[in-house]
Amino acid sequence: MGRHLPTSGGLRKTLALAEEQGCEALQVFVSNPQGWAEPMVRDDAEAFVEGARKIGISPGVAHAKYLINLASPREDLRENSMRALAAELVAAGELGLDLVVVHAGSHGGDGEEKGVDRLVEGLERARELAGNSGRAAEAVVENSVGAGTQLCSTFDVLGEVSRRAGVRVCVDTAHAFVAGHDLAVPGGPRLVAAELRAALGEAVALLHLNDAKNELGSHRDGHRKVGEGLIPEASWTELFAALPGVPLVMETPYETPEADAEEVRRVKRLAGGLRKTADEG
């Protein structure tokens, strides 16, 4: 398990933070998530690849730009999104990262069916383009909160995209909760995990482990530190037991490095005694 970590102090600092906080996985941005600028070539890339290998980071994850909308009704936006995702797959691959999480996007009023068609096509084209230029990371699609015309707030639609585009997915627990999946009641996490497995099988590559700031079914995003939001601590233990072996990355608000490290320890306590995977012995 790990956290989303800043890269502003350089990638060596990112790795130092990961180690200090007891992270075995990590997530970073490889470009400005709010702008279209392409990922920069970093002179600390090699040090990062080596350092991450040495401390055993797995998986290494990049979160793609928030601007990307492969399902947009606007052709120019779809084209920019496809190229931006391809560039991030390549940049993440060059940093030795395994996964790139991309949002499912919004159909913008054209309807879910058309939106899903566009998303599937965009994912296929981005992977093709990235595949042509060397080593690329794996794109995984994240579930949404289902605000407005956002796609993939239900596991069924996420499953359809996964099957048709041949991609795995990232499930954000805060998004799932505000989209209407009740993780807060006893037995809820087990049920949600069963639904997830029915819709996606083995295609869940990653959990974004975030506590929810807003109510069940509110469709309003907002992350809290694990244990400080609307999902009780017992729910996490139940969820981990129902989804063994799925890596997780927290995207909860940064506090002091000490408070962040305490959150990692808390989650490890909640997952205590569980085997990481069946074959890791």
DSSP string, 154-182: SHHHHHHHHHHHT-EEEEEHHHHHHTT--
Q: Which is nearer to Zn ion, 138 or 172 (CB)?
A: 172
Mark residues 129-148: x for contact with Zn ion by CB under 5 A, - for none.
-------------x------
4 binds Zn ion (CB under 5 A): no
Work out whether 107 is an interface residue with Zn ion (CB under 5 A).
Answer: no
> What are the backbone angles phi and psi of residue 3, rounded to the nearest 5°?
-135, 160
Q: What is the SS3 assignment for 250? A: strand
Torsion angle of C-alpha atoms 271, 174, 90, 203, degrees rounded to 10: 70
Question: What token pair was written down for 106?
Answer: 């919004």
In angstroms, give the least distance from the CB of 243 to Zn ion: 16
Neighbouring CB atoms inside 10 A of 267's CB total 25
Per CB under 5 A, 172 contacts Zn ion: yes
Applying CB under 5 A, does 208 fall inside the site for Zn ion? yes
Q: Does 65 bind Zn ion (CB under 5 A)?
A: no
- Least Å from the CB of residue 63 to Zn ion: 6
- Identity at 208, one-letter amino acid code: H
Q: How far is the CB of 103 from Zn ion (least distance, A)?
A: 6
Q: Smallest distance from the beta carbon of 281 to Zn ion, in angstroms?
A: 30
Closer residue to Zn ion in complex, CB, 142/211: 142
Does 118 sit near Zn ion (CB under 5 A)? no
Total site size for Zn ion, rule CB under 5 A: 3
Take residue 210 and report the two structure tokens written for it. 């975030």
Whether residue 207 contacts residue 171, with contact meaning beta carbons closer than 8 Å, is answered with: yes
- Residues of this chain that interact with Zn ion (CB under 5 A) are 142, 172, 208
